[in-house]
Amino acid sequence: MLVVFESFNVYSSVNCTLDYVQIYDGYAVSEDDVLTEKPLCGYISPPAYKSTGQAITLQFVSANIEVPADLEKEGIRKPHGFSFVYSAFIPRDVLMGDVDNC
């Protein structure tokens, strides 16, 4: 399975510690199956990710923090979720076999 991001908008924080997306190879959410080198956040679409099989899992994690009123007055706002658009499909070389060996 291949996942390609067309747009990406996840609240940006230092080292993506508040809100972030992780991508896993297969159905399980396991450290052994993480495809991303680090959590994904920000406004720039990440690269495409390819799983070893026909399943891939995208997980959104939120810190759900409360911002003190005095910080809100200074313009610091609570993270507001995420939005992204992606396409997931089985690459043609997987469907047709290895075309280089024909």
Q: Could you report the per-residue pLDDT of 15-54, keeping only the tens digit for each?
A: 998 889 999 999 999 999 999 999 999 999 999 999 999 8
Task: Tell me the pTM.
Answer: 0.74
C-alpha angle 63/37/16, rounded to 5°? 25
Which of 43-47, 59-63, 74-78, 88-92 shows the lowest mean pLDDT across its residues?
A: 74-78
- The conformational region for residue 97 under phi > 0 = left, psi -120 to 50 = alpha, else beta, is left
Report how far residue 88's alpha carbon sits from residue 4's, in angstroms, rounded to the nearest whole number: 7
Report how far residue 14's alpha carbon sits from residue 41's, in angstroms, rounded to the nearest whole number: 9
With beta carbons less than 8 A apart as the criterion, state whether 23 and 49 touch: yes
Report the candidate in 8, 9, 11 with the shortest Cα–Cα distance to residue 79: 11
